[in-house]
Amino acid sequence: MNRSERIFNFSAGPAILPEPVLREAQQAIWNLDGTGIGVLEHSHRGAAFQEILDDAIERCRRLADIPPEYHILFLQGGASTQFFMAPMNWLKPQDTADYLVTGSWSKKALAEARRFGNVHVVCSSEDRNFSYIPPRERWQFSERPVYVHVTSNNTIYGTQFHDWSGFPDDAVLICDASSDIFSRPLDVRRFGMIYAGAQKNLGPAGVTLVIVRDDLVQRGSEQLPTMLQYRTHVKANSCYNTPPTFGVFVMARVFRWIEQQGGLEAMAERNRRKAARLYEYLDQSRLFRPTAEKESRSWMNVTFVTGDPERDARFIEFARQAGLDGLKGHRSVGGMRASIYNAFPEEGVQRLIEVMRDFESREG
């Protein structure tokens, strides 16, 4: 990294992107592959963009071994639009959808589903400010949910699901994977749909990746506005209207970058190592402590506090001056949050530990 120009960015989203991808994007904005036209200026109906779209889909499918019965869509409106688009399509007024409530985002998803049908809370960790993933013995599913919604990584609270057991075999699982998609291997076959706003682990804000099984698409309501039916986007290969072309371009390049890193297994290995290093430091620190319970800790968002908000603020400023930005925690947890997504380099984690150590010896 060129330290004179770029600093370590721990922002939760929009977040850091791989440096080679940014360089390619820089070039492509000026002149895409020698076409004499920049990627922002190409028609979405033209061959150049169609090639980018095909490439994005193909790489995505290969990366996560996505079976042919799943469609890969690039939509707009963020993950937040999926909060209502999914229930709009599948939840009828007399039916019930199940929600695991493990943070603010799953609460928001639940609130949207309520507009369309019955909802059932399988479990909640709100009693301890979402600092843990409720253990399986506390999960209670409804009789016949049309789907079960889960948030794989709780960006704000720094907790994450680490295994997918405990769900009924026949349940249609819908997963909001906005903040951990492609950070580790993913068994797509376990899910009916997976969605993710791009701006954490995949690309720029403004594009949402949706991976959805064909039978669900076919089952969706036909009464909805055209843009809100998944089948519209499936039929038109994400080009019913103008898709977020630049977002798709960057995502395709991020997929390629992940492949070059060795794929999802290699990503997981690196992410596990980065998070472990950080938690290891925090666990022995006399000044800082992690806020998430041990078994539920996220590899993507590491939340921690000193216990004194003024001291937290001092640390955030101290870190900022040392070239570490974006460490301020979300207001609902306070303290600090280090978001260390796929593109975040190991040397940045090491640097954060050094800066914490330094601060600790000053304040201790």
Ligand X SMILES: *Cc1c(COP(=O)(O)O)cnc(C)c1O
Residue with tokens 């990366």: 63
Of 98, 200, 299, 328, catalytic: 200
The reply to whether 176 belongs to the active site is yes
Query: In angstroms, rounded to a whole number, what is the distance separating the alpha carbons of residues 47 and 45?
Result: 7
Of 105, 274, 299, 312, catalytic: 105
The reply to whether 169 belongs to the active site is no
Of 176, 274, 299, 312, catalytic: 176
Report the nearest approach of ligand X to the CB of residue 155 (Å).
3
Q: Does 251 bind ligand X (CB under 6 A)?
A: no
Query: In angstroms, rounded to a whole number, what is the distance separating the alpha carbons of residues 201 and 254?
Result: 9
Sheet holding 301-305, edge to edge: 289-290, 301-305, 336-339
Q: Which of 57, 79, 86, 355 binds ligand X (CB under 6 A)?
A: 79
Report the nearest approach of ligand X to the CB of residue 151 (Å).
5
Q: Does 291 bind ligand X (CB under 6 A)?
A: no
Residue with tokens 């709009």: 88
Query: In angstroms, rounded to a whole number, what is the distance separating the alpha carbons of residues 148 and 168?
Result: 9
Report the nearest approach of ligand X to the CB of residue 131 (Å).
16
The reply to whether 200 belongs to the active site is yes
Q: Quickly list H helices, 262-345.
A: 263-284, 309-321
Asked if 289 contacts 362 with a C-beta cutoff of 8 angstroms, the reply is no
Contacts with ligand X, 183-222, as mask; x by CB under 6 A: --------------x--x----------------------
DSSP string, 183-252: SS---GGG-SEEEEETTTTTSSTT-EEEEEEHHHHHHS-SSS-GGG-HHHHHHTTT-SS---HHHHHHHH
Contacts with ligand X, 18-57, as mask; x by CB under 6 A: ----------------------------------------
- Tell which positions 166-185 bind ligand X, by CB under 6 A: 176, 178-179
Q: Does 80 bind ligand X (CB under 6 A)?
A: yes
Residues that bind ligand X (CB under 6 A): 13, 78-80, 105, 151, 155, 176, 178-179, 197, 200
